[in-house]
Amino acid sequence: MPSISVVVPVLNRATMIADALDSVADQADAVLECLVVDGGSTDGTREVVSAHPVARLIDAPGTSIYQALNRAIQAASGELIVHLNSDDRLAPGALTAIGAAADPDVDIVRGVARYVRFDTNGLEQKAPILDDMFLPTLTMRNVLFGAPAINANAVRKTTYERIGLYDERLRIAADREWLLRAVLAEVKIRSISETVYIYRAHAGSLTIHDRSPAEVELVREHLDLAARWLAAPTVDHISRKRLLCFHAKEVVHRLVLQVSGRESGTLGQTVRHAFAVSPLWPIAAIGPLSRIAADRIARVLRRHEHRTAET
């Protein structure tokens, strides 16, 4: 079985980091090392990490999440890199399942991610609506229109060396950009049916919740990502069509944010910029918007069914 390094970026998670590290320690026979990169915590996180037997602390004050991940990946000595957020958990048996599927010619092993949320008493519950966002296979369409769930992927270190690390210019969307890069590079991906990762949705989650403070910035980064790749001469015709639809969807998303007063700037500026990137964006928006509308309606119905079942 290939050696595995678990990398954990952290900033001020003293109350949650131990649980994350425990999920690594529970499968210590399958892990080579667990590298925790601290961005300058002031709440006792460093002390918790330093005292944990499975963790190796790397101090990196002032680093962003993707700078921390890049630093950990570069420092890792394992053949496979597994990501773990400081407020999440690896699923039991995850590393063994990943290792068993990681044949030498496989660049990425993608398992299943599950989501849990906290109720008003602080107890964890399943989050079926968020579960529905997870797409088990990595395709261009799924990377652009699904939940990236970068943590459900174990990536061979040589793959990072071949296609590059995370784009540190992006604060939120660098995982989607990297997965897009990987798909365009036609890396070999093996999907497995085992649950390998558990996301824990809570008030501090950066991108899981709609209407989070990060939503406006995420849309801006998505538009930048789409514009850059649409300008790349190496993108094939089919991929370009997907990118045009993704760009159009994010243009509409930004217009909605502006109309609601949550995004600065004018509608005219957004529309002019959209036409500069793609004159056909209104046509390209039709397909994604119809799918989004159908998906939102389905989620509302499932949420209603779930609440009815709980009562």
H-helix or E-strand containing 288? helix 286-310
What per-residue confidence (pLDDT) applies to 147?
79
In the chain, CATH 3.90.550.10 sits at 4-201
Contact 150, 81 (CB under 8 A): no
Contact 87, 204 (CB under 8 A): yes
What per-residue confidence (pLDDT) applies to 93?
97
Contact 159, 182 (CB under 8 A): yes
Phi and psi of 198, rounded to 5°? -125, 110
Quote the crossing angle between the two packed helices 267-277 and 215-230, to the nearest 10°. Answer: 30
Determine the Cα–Cα distance for residues 41 and 278; give it in Å rounded to an integer.
43
What per-residue confidence (pLDDT) applies to 149?
87
| Closest C-alpha among 232, 91, 72 to residue 155 | 72
CA 37 from chain center: how many Å?
Answer: 18
Domain formed by 4-201, architecture: Alpha-Beta Complex (3.90)
What per-residue confidence (pLDDT) applies to 202?
58
Question: Whose structure tokens read 């630093």?
Answer: 71
Tens of pLDDT, residues 54-68: 999 999 999 999 999
What per-residue confidence (pLDDT) applies to 265?
80
Residues of the chain with pLDDT under 50: 129-131, 206-209
Contact 197, 113 (CB under 8 A): yes
Question: Whose structure tokens read 């769930």?
Answer: 149
**CA geometry: angle 34, 38, 43, nearest 5 deg:** 120
276 bridge partner residues: none
What per-residue confidence (pLDDT) applies to 131?
47
Q: Read off the DSSP letter of residue 5.
A: E
Residue type, 3: S
